[in-house]
Structure 1
Amino acid sequence: MTNAIYLEVNTSKEDYQSSKIMKLPLESLIIYCIYVHCNPEDMILNFVYTSTKLSQESVALQDENLIVINEKDVPWQIMCTYPVVMFNDTILAGLCAVARHICKFITRPHSLYEHEEGLLGFRKSCLQAPNEASIWTKFCEVDIIRTVKEMFSTASLDKVPKNLVRFENHLRKPVRMHNVYKIAREINKGVLKVSEADAEKTPVKEEDKNDKNRVPKSRKWKSNTKKDIDIDCTTKIKDLNISHQYAEGPFVTLADLVLFPSYHIIVQFFGGSFESLFPYSYKWYKNLLNTLELKSLVDKISKLEIKNTIMECNAIPETEDVSLYKCDPKRHNPKKRLFTKEDDIIKALSLLQNDMELNVDDNKLDCNINWADVPDGANPTAGHLPDERVLRKSQQLENLALAVLSVAQDGDIIVDFCSGSGHLGILVAHLLPNCTIILLENKEQSLLRARKRVHEMGMKNVLFFQCNLDFFVGNFDIGIALHACGIASDLVLDKCLHAKAKFVLCPCCYGSLHATDRLAYPRSYKFSNLPINQYLCIGHAADQTHNDHPLTVRGAKCMAIIDSDRGHLAQEFGYTVTLTRLKPLSCTPKNNLLIGVPS
């Protein structure tokens, strides 16, 4: 069984062998520390020396037993930014995805401070949501790491980084977790102990350390909850007084391990002023330091060479006074919602010029797939979808699969971006057995369902990538996406353009388009004079495509406008672009089909 981790380092194999000191990026350090703490079974840790210039935010780590390899020795399937895991036919990329994978092979005994289901918490869901959808995952995987790198890259700080304030606010707020009332009742009844001092005095017997299957003892909790409070669902969460001993509440979770190396560096940056500036963060940090099971992790991090940064000012920036929980009620502000008004749509459409819209061509692809010959794993009729969706889904898949067949060649690498449970990609893999199909999806459960179906069919030309779009950096020949929501369609298009790959796209959710640090709207030079507000207004109107609706015709026109902008962008990259529609149109309201072939 292949189960290997690949981390980027800036020290060559020869230099490491002579010095036993390694320079590595922060993401590699975090995964290394989690690996040391979990001590996963049958998992190989490889450090990959890259020829990229040594970055300022690299840190030095001293360890005598690490494996360093060159990039040429990395399997070709590793087509993602590090850190990466290769687990048989599945590639996992991204800090949180790799960290979660390590936890599934943990050999360290269960800690008294962990949730009964382990470091991944209730239903193994800790840091499961991708950073595009989860404020908390984004903070752990992107925001705090960006803050540390910014601190590395500057000689002095004139104000406290905003993300440190956000985490401090989070720790001050009430704990929001599954079964919070049940936990509070157990504390109230004395079922769970509340003395932190007792917890620190509780030794772990040597036989328990070696017994992986032992039943965990009652956890020790710290809470100010009074025993005489009658707790029910009407009690306000803030009155439960369950404090943030750790990042997600009263349990040590994977999130603590992900955040700890960054905060260890941050504490060194601030020195003695950190406790006065961030008392709750410092308490959390000390709680982790005092957790017996983290001592090996602390010992490794203590060998870091921390760069000194001069703190010129301790000014605290203003930030939203909310927790990092997405469900925090203070986060919802109806005033920030965007409503599309009829006059705005009319005004936006009036700004269009005659040559801006692409012609919507007739779909000339002959729908000739014999579904009776398609095996169950690649066939929507096999029970993988509700009955009412089977016909429409079959029609959607047939349109895109035939478009791929019209541009594919033997030996092509085809990436099904945002593949979900693999309906499109698996069908294409069946129809093109001489091509390699990559199913790329950031949702673990969806990809597992696809993997199960492929294995049951015995297919050998499919690989699985669990990662965000931006982590994939490999070369490929065709990119496909069926109903990649909102900006995901544009991210897929950009991947194809920069790889000079053909694309077959059926976009979706035009109303959720928004400018990001990676995307600017409008996309093309042809549309560049259209103001962003009017452009997004047209995007909102493009979602008005429901059946038997008076605005359906205008909605279809607005869809064509947004996709024309995408098509013009591809033409600027030298592509021949065709904009057509799925047939029959009734198979989905979002029925545009954008096909591009590089010249």
Structure 2
Amino acid sequence: MKIYLYGGLGEDGTVEAPLSSAVILYLLNYCHPHSNSFHVCFIDQEHNGETVVKVPEACTQNISHQFMNTMDGIDLVLNCSLPVIQDIAAHTVRSGLCCVARYVVQVSHMAAVKKGHTLIDLLGFRAGSVKACAEVSGWTRLCEVELPKAIGGLISTLRDDKPVSMDIPECLMTFELHFDKPPVLHNDDKKKRQVLKDVQTEAEALISACGKEGGPDIVDEFFQTREAVMPHGSVYYRVQTKAEKEEKKFDINTENGEVCRYGCTENKLIKWCARCNDREKLKRKEELQQNRNARMNERNCDEKTTIESQEVLKNGLNVNGDTDLGIGSLDELSTFIKTLTIHDVIYEHVYAEGTSFTVADVILFVYMYTLSESMGFGKTQLLDNAPNIKKWLVHVMGLPKIRQTSLQCGYDVSSMEGCLKGEGLQFPTEFSIPPVTLDVEEDNPEIGRSSKAKQKALKKDVAVVLEKVKEGRIQTEPGEHPCGSNVHMDWTTVPLQASPKCELPEKRVSRKCEQLENLATAVQSLAKPGDVIVDFCSGAGHLGIIIAYLLPECKVYLVENKEESLGRARDRVIKLGLDNVTLYQCNLDYFQGSFDIGVCLHACGVATDLVLQQCLERGANFVICPCCYGSIHNTHLITYPRSQLFREAGISDYDLIVLGHAGDQTEKATELYDQGRQCMGLVDTDRARLAMERGYNVSLCSLQPLSCTPKNNLLVGKR
């Protein structure tokens, strides 16, 4: 199986490549020898302006690879931004750093299991690490978009301009603050109950066996950080002390109006203290940990480094030493353990996503190593101002597999360790935490696997926006389906695998068929032989597969981010024997090929606008049925409103989002139905007007019958 990466052979034998290629090469080495089924093809061409770094020659020594000098025969690959994995047998192309990284782990794990090893833990709880697209998952966005762009830009600036001072990138500080929060522990009640039971049983047995002897030592040992050994990185937890229960060491201020030392005002909080409100507390905590970590300074061999790094972590997390435990005898401890609840079990936030080492840690480690290397591994204020990231790096560097892989890849491990200990020459550029403010109501420095819940549409806000629309003389102009009322298909002539009957329960089949035939007949009215038709957000392929069946002389691409859905579509395509279908597992914006018609059925929220943007940028016709209006929000790719008409009418992004929230209230026989239909139409009018401003003829019509779905608007655009 081939992996296509941006990269060229440097004169010194290194690979000159962007950060995304460096990450995949490191991960292939991490999974070696179980990743031997992959063959890397380096393509030396423009790569979206990403910063090029030198990847050590050693990174490729254990990997089958080649430097390509021709692009012949890889048109399907070049439809997407690299990195890309092409699986010719499965008619599938996978694109995007996180998607490719996950697939490398999955394939390598299948090989590892045969030899008694495991790699699937790298994908985290329920294999969900960096799984969702960047528009949904904060982790995917951080790993795939924000940090590579910020760190690449930082490396370029330091390399070319050598500035005297500069601000630390915002996304890096977001990552730093993420460690201040308690780790997300999935199914935490169940896990903590079992841990609590084990801890109480262990303590009772120890107290019973020791009697009155060894009291202080047993008390101290009880509150030590415990380690649960895992394949790639241990999980650490402890019991909250009595003193901690009585007095919270780090109070969190979330109320507006309280002013912290950094000048938070009534309506705003400084972003870097929005979760702690006093950065000095974190600094004092770090100083205490550094005092306990003196043993980190002696590292003479590989084995000693690994052992001491783990001790550093434990000592840094333990609550013994100078800390008042609040308990002085075994009798007090015996009484105390009976009062414990699951809330007294504290899991330590030692890895990027929380308690477990995942592929996100691998990705972020490569970024931070490359950044440190670009600064000559010197002493820098950047890590001093990001103590949580520094502590995370110390721990990750001490993991045996990371250390082994780093040495295998030719990374300068000793210099990186010296950098983390504050050795080496002082790097001349000063780094500071920027005085960026953040509206409390808008957002917070939070990273997660899924997007925030949709907001509610307040009646007063909807009324205000509708008045603005009226004053701006904006109206929804209903159009007609290209086929008029002749949108029905004879499903009895369609093979089972091309029909939704093969997947959906009987009660849903009729409505789904009605939805599909509305879009399929619209596409038929626009298509001509040889056209390339792209079904964006294709899911299990209901729309794309019926189009491919009806239009065998056209090429059909299914673009979908969810691997499970695309897997079901692949099975259907193979059973039907369709040779005009190619599947792409990637984010919408990673598909960069040319096409003639873009379609989507119920693309959620912002995804509808991404599909429309793809079509407009390539001059393609489109057939789009939107959905989830309440999920629209500004992203790094899309901002609202979309059209000049709405902006000139004074409609703001918040106004359009309010309309979207109200537009989701379209259930029949409810008092808000008519208002919901109006707001839904206005959101789609904004989309239609954007296309019209780009020279399209657009019809905003409805699916027939309206009862086939509450989200029954249809946008049909022709160049």
TM-score range (shorter-chain normalised) is: 0.7 to 0.9
Is 1:258 aligned to 2:363, yes or no?
Answer: yes
Check the 8 A contact 1:5/1:43 in 2, yes or no: yes
Q: CA deviation at 1:561?
A: 3.0
Distance in 2, matches of 1:232 and 1:133, equals 41
State the secondary structure of the residue aligned to 1:223: strand
Distance in 1, matches of 2:399 and 2:518, equals 57
Q: CA deviation at 1:25?
A: 0.8
Check the 8 A contact 1:348/1:535 in 2, yes or no: no
Q: CA deviation at 1:399?
A: 0.6
Judging changes above 3 Å, is the alpha-carbon distance between structure 1 residues 327 and 557 closer, same or farther for their aligned structure 2 residues?
A: closer
Structure 1 range deviating more: 477-486 or 319-328: 319-328
1:241 partner letter: I
Distance in 1, matches of 2:450 and 2:516, equals 36
The equivalent residue for 1:592 is: 713
The equivalent residue for 1:211 is: none
The equivalent residue for 2:471 is: 351
2:82 partner letter: Y
State the secondary structure of the residue aligned to 2:342: coil
Among 33, 57, 65, which residue is 2:26 paired with?
Answer: 33
The equivalent residue for 1:272 is: 379
Is 1:302 aligned to 2:411, yes or no?
Answer: yes
Distance in 2, matches of 1:340 and 1:386, equals 37
1:424 partner letter: L
Distance in 1, matches of 2:625 and 2:406, equals 49
The equivalent residue for 1:548 is: 669
Over residues 79-137 of structure 1, what are the superposed CA-to-partner deviations in whole Å (9 max), with x where a residue is unaligned? 11111111231111111100001001226968xxx988431233222221222111222
The equivalent residue for 1:207 is: none
State the secondary structure of the residue aligned to 2:123: coil
State the secondary structure of the residue aligned to 1:158: strand
Is 1:146 aligned to 2:149, yes or no?
Answer: yes
State the secondary structure of the residue aligned to 1:490: helix
The equivalent residue for 2:640 is: 521
**Structure 2: any 5+ residue segments left out of the alignment?**
203-220, 241-332, 417-425
Q: CA deviation at 1:70?
A: 3.7
Distance in 2, matches of 1:56 and 1:594, equals 35
Check the 8 A contact 2:622/2:717 in 1, yes or no: yes
Over residues 42-69 of structure 1, what are the superposed CA-to-partner deviations in whole Å (9 max), with x where a residue is unaligned? 111111110469x572111231754211
What pairs with 1:338-417 in structure 2 (closer than 5 Å)? 339-341=458-460, 342-353=462-473, 357-361=476-480, 364-382=484-502, 384-417=503-536
Structure 1 range deviating more: 391-400 or 504-513: 504-513
Q: CA deviation at 1:250?
A: 4.0
The equivalent residue for 1:486 is: 605
Distance in 2, matches of 1:41 and 1:340, equals 59
State the secondary structure of the residue aligned to 1:224: strand
Among 548, 555, 559, which residue is 2:680 paired with?
Answer: 559
Is 1:137 aligned to 2:140, yes or no?
Answer: yes
The equivalent residue for 1:170 is: 178
Q: CA deviation at 1:222?
A: 4.0
Is 1:572 aligned to 2:693, yes or no?
Answer: yes
Judging changes above 3 Å, is the alpha-carbon distance between structure 1 residues 249 and 567 closer, same or farther for their aligned structure 2 residues?
A: closer
Check the 8 A contact 2:135/2:635 in 1, yes or no: no
Distance in 2, matches of 1:310 and 1:56, equals 25
Q: CA deviation at 1:510?
A: 2.6
Over residues 433-463 of structure 1, what are the superposed CA-to-partner deviations in whole Å (9 max), with x where a residue is unaligned? 2222111111111111111222222222211
Check the 8 A contact 1:115/1:252 in 2, yes or no: no
Judging changes above 3 Å, is the alpha-carbon distance between structure 1 residues 548 and 338 closer, same or farther for their aligned structure 2 residues?
A: closer
Is 1:159 aligned to 2:167, yes or no?
Answer: yes
1:169 partner letter: L
Distance in 2, matches of 1:60 and 1:250, equals 32
Q: CA deviation at 1:509?
A: 2.4
TM-score by length of 1: 0.84
The equivalent residue for 1:293 is: 401
Judging changes above 3 Å, is the alpha-carbon distance between structure 1 residues 322 and 315 closer, same or farther for their aligned structure 2 residues?
A: closer
The equivalent residue for 1:189 is: 198
Judging changes above 3 Å, is the alpha-carbon distance between structure 1 residues 109 and 194 closer, same or farther for their aligned structure 2 residues?
A: farther
Distance in 2, matches of 1:434 and 1:463, equals 14
Distance in 2, matches of 1:396 and 1:302, equals 55
Over residues 337-391 of structure 1, what are the superposed CA-to-partner deviations in whole Å (9 max), with x where a residue is unaligned? 663425314413312426x543423661413411111111121233x22333221
TM-score by length of 2: 0.70
Distance in 2, matches of 1:463 and 1:225, equals 53
State the secondary structure of the residue aligned to 1:402: helix
Structure 1 range deviating more: 356-365 or 426-435: 356-365
Structure 1 range deviating more: 223-232 or 577-586: 223-232
**Structure 1: any 5+ residue segments left out of the alignment?**
203-215
1:60 partner letter: K
The equivalent residue for 2:55 is: 61
Query: Identity of aligned pairs, percent?
Result: 35
Distance in 1, matches of 2:627 and 2:459, equals 18
State the secondary structure of the residue aligned to 2:71: helix
Which structure has the highest helix share of the two? Answer: 2
State the secondary structure of the residue aligned to 1:174: coil
Distance in 2, matches of 1:321 and 1:372, equals 53
- Matched residues, number: 564
Judging changes above 3 Å, is the alpha-carbon distance between structure 1 residues 538 and 417 closer, same or farther for their aligned structure 2 residues?
A: same
2:96 partner letter: G
Judging changes above 3 Å, is the alpha-carbon distance between structure 1 residues 515 and 46 closer, same or farther for their aligned structure 2 residues?
A: same
The equivalent residue for 1:437 is: 556
Distance in 1, matches of 2:645 and 2:638, equals 16
Judging changes above 3 Å, is the alpha-carbon distance between structure 1 residues 592 and 295 closer, same or farther for their aligned structure 2 residues?
A: same
Check the 8 A contact 1:418/1:440 in 2, yes or no: yes
The equivalent residue for 2:81 is: 81
Over residues 141-182 of structure 1, what are the superposed CA-to-partner deviations in whole Å (9 max), with x where a residue is unaligned? 222222202312323343333333322332233222234455
Over residues 445-490 of structure 1, what are the superposed CA-to-partner deviations in whole Å (9 max), with x where a residue is unaligned? 1111111222222222211111111111001111001111222112
Over residues 271-306 of structure 1, what are the superposed CA-to-partner deviations in whole Å (9 max), with x where a residue is unaligned? 334553333322221222222212343232626999
Structure 1 range deviating more: 394-403 or 224-233: 224-233
State the secondary structure of the residue aligned to 2:489: coil
State the secondary structure of the residue aligned to 1:526: helix
Aligned Cα RMSD in Å? 3.7
Check the 8 A contact 1:546/1:552 in 2, yes or no: yes
Judging changes above 3 Å, is the alpha-carbon distance between structure 1 residues 29 and 340 closer, same or farther for their aligned structure 2 residues?
A: farther
Among 536, 539, 543, which residue is 2:660 paired with?
Answer: 539
Judging changes above 3 Å, is the alpha-carbon distance between structure 1 residues 116 and 343 closer, same or farther for their aligned structure 2 residues?
A: same
Judging changes above 3 Å, is the alpha-carbon distance between structure 1 residues 81 and 31 closer, same or farther for their aligned structure 2 residues?
A: same
Instruction: Point out the structure with max Rg over C-alpha.
Output: 2
State the secondary structure of the residue aligned to 2:179: helix
Distance in 2, matches of 1:90 and 1:142, equals 23
State the secondary structure of the residue aligned to 2:463: helix
1:235 partner letter: I
Distance in 2, matches of 1:84 and 1:46, equals 10
State the secondary structure of the residue aligned to 2:237: coil
Distance in 1, matches of 2:607 and 2:620, equals 17
Distance in 2, matches of 1:56 and 1:83, equals 13
Among 221, 235, 239, which residue is 1:225 paired with?
Answer: 239
State the secondary structure of the residue aligned to 2:183: coil
